[in-house]
Structure 1
Amino acid sequence: MTEAIKKLQEERTGLFADLYRGKTPRRVPIRGGLTTEAAIEYAGMDIKETQWHSEKMIDVMRYAAERIPTDVAPVRPHTLRNPYKYQLLGGKTIVMNEEGYAQHPEIHGLEPGEYPQFIEDPYKCMLETILPRLYDGLNQSPVQNALNLAKAYKMHSDQAAQGIAQAAQVNEEFGFATAPPGGFTEAPYDFMADFIRSFSGTSKDIRRHPRELLAACEAVTPIMINQGLGPVRTVDARCFLPLHMAPFLNMKQFEKFYWPTFKKTIEALTDAGMGVDLFVEQDWTRYLDFLKELPGRIVMRFEFGDPKQIKEKLGDRHIIAGLYPIGLLKTESKEKCIDKAKELLDICAPGGGFIFDLDKDILSMSSANIDNLIAVQEYVREHSAY
């Protein structure tokens, strides 16, 4: 790493460090980027094939890093949904389609009559009942189950190490901001709605089995907290939570089923010293006052909402991100795309506490005009100094 790249990396890392500590950074930091699939396509490579050859991802990451102006690497390591482990385990939870995109089918591993078993010991129930239903490779003889799990874990560990090494190499080559290793977890209700009971399952249970669903959320909360605690406990080490289900609940349901265990999870993470990053999916306008109650200085990346209202409600306490619609990048001129960035800067940047980011990651080259993305983020980089 040259002295110039080292200085650039220190400056970029400092932008986020200042934000997390309530200081106004030198300028607005930028995070907008691509999913793995979009980045592979952007680099002119085959989406499906490249995901099966993760050693090629370093070239994908470099290609995007050379072109897209951000302060963090615009492509994350390909570790979360790498296809090898799902194949080795016979997974039904994440399935690659013909084009190479990872899909999350509507599937569940727990039946309503099994709630008592889950509530009594959720970890045991997941090991003995749920996982064998979701993964055919864990529904064999005890010996074969152990072999399949060992092979999948070895593959996952090897590829995670490779992805982390690739990310570190790209950060060093291009001077991107760095951070200590963080964590990943979910709100307990969201966890129940993912693979335990599914979207449709929890939507039925909230009316047919409300006591059981509520108790299950309480029972799984310690696991969600433990899952989110990373090896480093500082505000620079962020725990990421994607928030799924709240917009599909009415206010009474949200207050009873979603909010208490979600808040408890966030409080435990911040009490442990960790920083928190939320992806606030869909429209949380009804719940902004609840989000304001959360402790710490949380990064809240919004998909939808009124920037003025969000800034007014949350800007003095938390860090606002997102809100830039990727649909504009596909349909509008470069000038209009930049005008939207100006609008967001005017509303959200004053006083600090703002990260420029897209409302969601770009999934494919058909989702956005990358030239517009480059122009927008170049504008933000050059015109967002405090």
Structure 2
Amino acid sequence: MENADKKQLLEKRINRFVTTSNLEEPDIVPIMSQINSYAIAYCGKTAWDAFEDPELERQCYRRASEAFYFDGLSIFGLNHPFKAYLDVESPTYFVSEDGVTIQHRETSSMTDAEYDEFCEDPIAFIANKIAARKIKAFEKPYPENYEALKKLLDTIAAFKQNSAENRRYVLEEMAMPILSSRSAPNPCDNFFDFIRGFKGTLKDIRRFSDKVGKAVEALTPYYEKSIPSSQEEPFPWLLSTCHIPTFLSKEQFKKVYWPYMKRCILAAHENGTKYMAFLEGTWKQHFDLFEEIPKGALIAILESDDIIDFKKRFGDQITVAGGMPLAMLKHETEKACIDQVKRVYDACAPGGGFIFTVDKPPLGPKDLNVDNLKAVNAFAHEYGRY
């Protein structure tokens, strides 16, 4: 394909996402890839191969992305500097037995007696205590700990350079947009993921939710500052994966989670971009609060909630993404999968504000039936013409 043709195709694909996210009808319903580490398995490689060879990683993601019809990608390449953590003996991430799926290990790097100290200066606490607790190599004597720090920073710098090259490669060589420019800030989930941990956070919310709320509030200004103060273009967006709300009651969500997520959504909206949130689990019990969000500010990727019900309720306010259960692609017939496309498109496509994608990112080698996904996306691309 000539460069001029690639540029024209890229602009057409970007316009589909921008138009539908503005709650208007594009020429075709855009189809978003959420292919994650599955791309490595698709090419018969392992996560370790990708860690050591950025060009191999790039080619794996290209092959997997182009094997199926997509208009855009939620990510391209490994989305965290996993090798950096492994190099410095951090237990934060590990590679599963399948050699491909990368998992986040549940750990707590802060005790329940340290909330007051954390709230006084979260950044100092993270730098001086949490970093050392997460990285075993930092516990070694000088100069070994200093060498570990240098190695960590060098690996992260290489990861950032590779991520920038991935973005250029996707735009210029594949004529496909990456929908997110960076991770969207989400204070409570980040506290849950990287500081207090799954067990600790949920336990503390039930014992002393005020302390958890204060800790999340102390983090929020730093996350708000991470949102670009202005963007020349409203696209690409910010992307957040939201883990903890499915485990929270309505009252807990309203107290320790929503006020801070909402502040970040509003900051993104005010600064000229959109907040794209992957809503893990079920959020139905929390949806009343979504009425507080400005029109067009949020793109909600649904995992377990009913996409048709969501579209009926919020179709004039929020863009919704989803519609194809990964379990169907793995276990059901091609006909059943295509019938699902028809059902969802008939209900969700009118009026715009709809992006078609899977309900869960494929990670491991056995997560989906390749033939089903090829048939589904090819059919959806034609069926989704306005």
Relative to 1, partners in 2 of residues 1:272 and 1:19: Cα closer, same or farther, differing over 3 Å? same
Normalising by structure 2, what TM-score? 0.92
Query: Displacement of 1:329 after TM fit?
Result: 0.5
TM-score, normalised with respect to structure 1? 0.92
Instruction: Please say if 1:357 is aligned against 2:357.
Output: yes
1:233 CA displacement: 5.9
Aligned to 2:279: 280
Cα gap change, 1:141 to 1:294, in 2 (>3 Å)? farther
* CA-CA distance at 1:56 after TM superposition: 0.8
User: C-alpha distance in 2, partners of 1:83/1:208?
Assistant: 33
TM-superposed deviation, 1:28:
0.4
Which is further off, 140-149 or 334-343? 140-149
Distance in 2 between the 1:140 and 1:231 partners?
A: 42
Residue in 1 aligned with 2:56? 56
Partner of 1:126: 126
Residue in structure 2 matched with residue 27 of structure 1 by the alignment: 28
1:382 Cα deviation after fit: 0.9
The question of whether the paired residues in 2 share the 8 Å contact of 1:202 and 1:213 is answered with yes
Mapping of residues 85-104 of structure 1, within 5 Å: 85-100=84-99, 101-104=101-104
Q: Write out per-residue CA displacement over residues 176-218 of structure 1, whole angstroms, 9 at most, x where no aligned residue.
A: 1356x72214422212211211111011111223221111011
Residue 143 of structure 1, CA deviation = 5.3
1:110 counterpart residue number: 110
Tell me by how many angstroms 1:73 deviates: 4.2
C-alpha distance after superposition, 1:334-370 (max 9, x if no partner):
1111110111101111101100011011112311101
Distance 1:233 1:91 in 2: 38
CA distance in 1, matches of 2:143, 2:273: 39
Q: Which residue of the partner structure matches residue 302 of structure 2?
A: 302
Q: Is the 8 A contact 1:115 1:216 kept in 2?
A: yes
Q: CA deviation at 1:239?
A: 1.2
Report the alpha carbon displacement of residue 289 of structure 1 after superposing the two structures with TM. Answer: 2.0
Output the amino acid matched with 2:32.
Answer: R
Q: Which moved more, 1:310-319 or 1:98-107?
A: 98-107
1:234/1:216 Cα in 2 relative to 1: closer, same or farther (>3 Å)? Answer: farther
What is the Cα deviation at residue 383 of structure 1?
Answer: 1.3
Matches within 5 A, 1:95-244: 95-100=94-99, 101-141=101-141, 144-177=144-177, 182-229=181-228, 232=231, 234-244=233-243
Q: For 1:4-30, what per-residue CA distance to the aligned partner results, in whole angstroms no more than 9, with x for missing partners?
A: 322211211111122233432111000
SS at match of 1:130: helix
CA RMSD of aligned residues (A): 2.1
The answer (yes or no) to whether the contact 1:301–1:323 under 8 Å persists in 2 is no
SS across alignment from 1:356: strand
Read off the aligned partner of 2:69 and give its amino acid letter.
P
Q: Percent identity?
A: 30
- Call closer, same or farther: CA 1:65–1:185 in 2, change over 3 Å: closer
Task: Specify every segment of 5 or more residues in structure 2 that has no aligned partner in the other structure, as ranges.
Answer: none
**SS in structure 1 at match of 2:221:** helix
The aligned counterpart of 1:16 is 17
Q: What is the distance in 1 between the residues matched to 2:46 and 2:236?
A: 33
Measure, in 1, the Cα distance between the counterparts of 2:86 and 2:233: 36
CA–CA distance in structure 2, aligned partners of residues 178 and 255 of structure 1: 32
Cα distance in structure 1, aligned partners of 2:186 and 2:338: 35
User: Kindly tell me: are residues 273 and 170 of structure 1, through their superposed partners in 2, closer, same or farther at Cα, counting changes over 3 Å?
Assistant: closer
Structure 1 residue 232: deviation in Å? 3.8
In structure 1, distance between residues paired with 2:177 and 2:264:
27
User: By how many angstroms is 1:44 displaced?
Assistant: 2.4
Mapped to 2, the partners of 1:177 and 1:224 lie a distance apart of 25
Give the match for residue 5 of structure 1: 6
CA deviations on 1:106-129 (whole Å, 9 max, x unpaired) are 101111111111000000000111
- Amino acid of the structure 2 residue aligned with 1:241: S
Task: Mark the runs of 5 or more structure 1 residues left unpaired by the alignment.
Answer: none
Distance 2:273 2:143 in 1: 39
Structure 2 residue aligned with 1:368: 368
C-alpha distance in 1 between matches for 2:225 and 2:269: 12
8 A Cα contact 1:280 1:302, kept in partner? yes
C-alpha change, 1:236 and 1:107, in structure 2 (3 Å) is same
Equivalent residue letter for 2:48: K
